């Protein structure tokens, strides 16, 4: 499989230095312009502050890219004609030489094959509410890709209980970063327990190393609650989500459009509060992923 690396990421991987993969769908489709550029750069800076090298993943002209320049990030953020590439789009993207942003599923797919062990994002996709057949390709990919994904759980617009059950059925361990309950994206609680609380990056890294030692093929989810100052209570969010889902339904929005549509609707309904929470958790997750990647790299020295 052909992957093109930035020189910085190439050197980090070759010398066993820690690297953290970052996705690009959140840049091209998840956040509005220009917050998306600023957030992408802040996430990269957060990874660096934790002593790791950021490796933002995308597909440019059909080429799998690991590590992007600022110009390339700005190109994705400008967003015109950038396809949201999920697993089913990978072969099409390569054959037709497309420009694509990578979701959690395709970022994990590419990052794992690039030799990167830790990946940071905001919220993974999951089982959509009221339509159990709409399951994000993020889930089956995580069931087949041994990488550690640092996230704030699944996005609150989803059916979180069904998503939690799916993870359990498919053998994906859910760790809680200094918490006992799986976070719910904008909210710090979901009502679902984590499988193990971890209080240090070292503990998380030990679990990831044990997974690899067992030869397991599943990802590990390290779930991190949104920073307290940015949390939005779940009860308040439920009304907003019901409104956003109603609008999506009346406009017949579905498929890959639904997640970006709902996130944008919530930003409008909440007067920007969900956007600020999303940015805060993305940056925080990138920082923690950098710490975990550093611990993982130490174990292999």
Residues that bind ligand PSU (CB under 6 A): 23, 25-26, 30, 86, 103-104, 121-123, 125, 136-138, 256, 259, 263, 278, 282
155 tagged catalytic: yes
Catalytic residue of the set 84, 155, 256, 273? 155
Nearest distance from residue 97's CB to ligand PSU, in Å?
22
Place of tokens 């690991």: 66
Q: By rule CB under 5 A, what string of x and - marks binding of each residue 130-159 to Mn ion? A: ----x-------------------------
- Whether the ω angle into residue 34 lies within 30 degrees of 0, i.e. cis, is yes
Nearest distance from residue 93's CB to Mn ion, in Å?
18
Exposed e or buried b per residue across 136-150, where buried means at least 16 C-beta atoms within 10 angstroms of its C-beta:
bbbbebbbebbbbbb
Q: Please provide the DSSP assignment of 138-190 as one string.
A: HHHHHTT---EEEESSB-TTB-HHHHHHHHHHTT-EEEEET-SB--BTTBS--
- Residues pairing with 53 in the sheet: 19
Nearest distance from residue 131's CB to Mn ion, in Å?
9
50 binds, among ligand PSU, Mn ion, none (CB under 5 to 8 A by kind): none
Alpha carbon dihedral 107, 110, 114, 115, in 10-degree steps, equals: 60
Instruction: Report which of 183, 99, 113 is spatially closest to residue 141, judged by C-alpha positions.
Output: 113
**212 touches 173 (CB < 8 A):** no
Nearest distance from residue 217's CB to ligand PSU, in Å?
19
295 tagged catalytic: no
| Residue 133 to residue 244: CA distance in whole angstroms | 20
Tokens, residue 286? 């990138």
Q: Name which of 10 and 64 has its Cβ closer to ligand PSU.
A: 64
Nearest distance from residue 146's CB to Mn ion, in Å?
24
- Residue 233's CB is within 10 A of a number of other CB atoms, namely 11
Range list of β-strands (E), 37-95: 53-60, 63-66, 83-85
Q: State the residue number with the nearest CB to ligand PSU.
A: 122
138 binds, among ligand PSU, Mn ion, none (CB under 5 to 8 A by kind): ligand PSU
Q: Name which of 137 and 291 has its Cβ closer to ligand PSU.
A: 137
Binding site for Mn ion (CB under 5 A): 134
Residues tagged active-site: 23, 155
């Amino acid at each position: 499989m052909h992957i093109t690396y930035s020189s910085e990421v190439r050197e980090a991987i070759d010398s066993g230095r820690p690297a953290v993969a970052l996705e690009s769908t959140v840049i091209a489709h998840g956040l509005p312009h220009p917050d998306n550029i600023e957030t992408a750069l802040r996430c990269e800076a957060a990874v660096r502050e934790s002593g790791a090298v950021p490796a933002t993943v995308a597909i440019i002209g059909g080429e799998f890219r690991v590590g992007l320049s600022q110009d390339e990030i700005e190109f994705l953020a400008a967003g015109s004609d950038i396809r949201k590439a999920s697993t089913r789009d990978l072969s099409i993207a390569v054959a037709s030489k497309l420009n694509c942003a990578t979701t959690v599923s395709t970022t994990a797919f590419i990052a794992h094959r690039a030799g990167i062990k830790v990946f940071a994002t905001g919220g993974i996709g999951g089982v959509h509410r009221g339509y159990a057949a709409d399951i994000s390709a993020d889930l089956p990919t995580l069931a087949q890709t041994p990488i550690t994904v640092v996230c704030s759980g699944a996005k609150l617009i989803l059916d979180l209980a069904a998503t939690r059950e799916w993870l359990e059925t498919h053998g994906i361990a859910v760790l809680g970063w200094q918490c006992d309950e799986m976070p719910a994206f904008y909210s710090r609680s979901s009502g679902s327990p984590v499988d193990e609380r971890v209080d240090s990056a070292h503990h998380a890294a030990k679990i990831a190393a044990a997974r690899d030692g067992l030869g397991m093929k599943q990802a590990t989810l390290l779930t991190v609650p949104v920073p307290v100052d940015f949390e939005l209570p779940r009860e308040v969010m439920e009304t907003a989500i019901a409104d956003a889902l109603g609008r999506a339904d009346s406009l017949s929005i579905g498929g890959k459009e639904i997640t970006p549509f709902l996130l944008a609707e919530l930003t409008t309904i909440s007067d920007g509060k969900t956007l600020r929470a999303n940015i805060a958790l993305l940056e925080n997750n990138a920082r923690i992923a950098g710490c975990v990647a550093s611990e993982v790299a130490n174990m292999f020295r």
